[in-house]
Chains A and B, each alone.
Chain A
């Protein structure tokens, strides 16, 4: 039994040193800062004192750091998709996002922005390495504390895109656009053409 206790002591400091989210089966980490929205809790307790008030999303989130006084050197990027968090809290030098008004570069200390994105190329620059993704539409938020949140519905790393398929898709949708009759068909074909030509451009450019 002493050996078990000793082994537990030995493993615990190493687990704390390595910042690894240990995935326990059937259980998840939920950071719970129990201070809820006080006004909401008050209003709740007045009407329904017997039931505990429900939690709100801000209780499950780590609070973001405040705006620093000096310009930070790195940009912290969160790139999230519905089925994965591609990058979370990664410190990079620059990100270029495909906003509807054109490619937009985001550096640390960028003015706070809400940008709507169109399908296009997203590139993450970290030192000398550049990671490129092709994303579908989404949104990008740049906060005053040099945090950038990029949300997209779909994203593929650019090296996984097959140029031949892209060309074939573009031809198919251009054909559909010319032969479309109803508004709905025209809109669908137009979307296909837009996405495929953006893909083409991303691959070549």
Chain B
């Protein structure tokens, strides 16, 4: 009867374990325990349940600690991300927002994290990047990827390896600052031919909500073309250009500066989102571990009481057999 109860327990435990990967490793240890039961042993040994309880408790402690670490990192980086939000607004005010522009050479810059256990934000970024790639590649338009971060690289390399132009990882090893990002931006601009750069990142709204965003930076030739065609950037001609020898030189500098500013904000927002997502993932993981621990405790007690009852019954029946 205890065996049947445990089998029922095992089946109920399986749908609980969804996202946190460490807990899945423990699931496999239940299988050999059941095999031992199948060999004709009366009840499952309490030792096995006790081992499982110990490992689940450790996992709960670890995930709780990871959540605290992510919370403290989030607090630090949130301030910087909020302060950098003013940086891209002048560009959008001047040049407008043109995600639907159609150009020959598109480059999708995907920003992702290096470490895992951060929920679904990297998969979301990759999904959006793939969709943008689909929209923007056609008979006369090509689309390439520039990938920042391990996680997106791992996912995109599987099916779009020939479209990836450049990858960069370990961005957050040193403190994120504008100089580093501007060097990265310079690298990208030098090595990749582009008409439009589409930067994909997750904008931080709160610990449970991240908004996938795409910001578009156009090359100076496309800006000229669009301003002549009218539409959003149509009023660019009315602006006087001060400085530099020619208008195109200033527009070139402007476009490069815009790229580095938008990238800086994007990288900070993505880092914020990563810490927030990790916080909520670790939180749900430790809650799951707590639930699992409760159930295991019940099982353990039931098993222990069942074995005590069995022993008692044997003794009593033996004694009554001797008497009568």
Per-residue CB proximity of B250-268 to A under 8 Å, as 1/0? 1001100100011010000
Which one of A43-51, A167-175, A185-193 is at the interface?
A43-51
> 17 A–B contact pairs at CB < 8 A?
A44-B135, A51-B131, A54-B128, A56-B99, A64-B93, A80-B87, A80-B90, A88-B86, A100-B242, A101-B242, A104-B242, A114-B94, A114-B241, A114-B254, A115-B241, A116-B242, A116-B250
- Give the residue name and chain of the A residue nearest to B238 (CB): A112
Which A residues touch B262, using CB under 8 A? Answer: 57
- Give the residue name and chain of the A residue nearest to B276 (CB): A26
Which one of B18-26, B29-37, B203-211 is at the interface?
B203-211
Evaluate contact between A100 and B244: CB separation under 8 angstroms.
Answer: yes
Which B residues touch A58, using CB under 8 A? Answer: 92, 96-97
Which A residues touch B261, using CB under 8 A? Answer: 82, 151
* B287 at the A interface (CB under 8 A): no
Which B residues touch A141, using CB under 8 A? Answer: 90, 93-94, 239
Which A residues touch B83, using CB under 8 A? Answer: 83-85
* B173 at the A interface (CB under 8 A): no
* B107 at the A interface (CB under 8 A): no
The 7 lowest CB-CB distance pairs between A and B, nearest first, are A149-B90, A116-B243, A100-B243, A85-B86, A58-B97, A27-B206, A115-B242
Q: Known contacts A56-B216, A116-B242; can you find 13 more A-B pairs with CB under 8 A?
A: A26-B206, A27-B205, A28-B82, A37-B97, A43-B100, A51-B127, A55-B203, A56-B214, A64-B93, A82-B264, A113-B242, A141-B239, A147-B93
Evaluate contact between A78 and B250: CB separation under 8 angstroms.
Answer: no
Binding site for A on B (CB under 8 A): 71, 74-75, 78, 80-90, 92-94, 96-100, 127-128, 131, 134-135, 177-178, 200, 203-207, 211-216, 235, 238-244, 250, 253-254, 257, 261-262, 264, 276, 279
Which A residues touch B84, using CB under 8 A? Answer: 82-83
- Give the residue name and chain of the A residue nearest to B215 (CB): A57
Q: Give A64 to B243 CA distance when docked, in angstroms.
A: 26
Which B residues touch A78, using CB under 8 A? Answer: 86, 89-90
Q: Which of A77-98 contact B (CB under 8 A)?
A: 78, 80-85, 88
Q: Distance (Å) between the CB of B184 and the closest chain A CB?
A: 14
- Give the residue name and chain of the B residue nearest to A25 (CB): B75
Q: Distance (Å) between the CB of A34 and the closest chain B CB?
A: 11
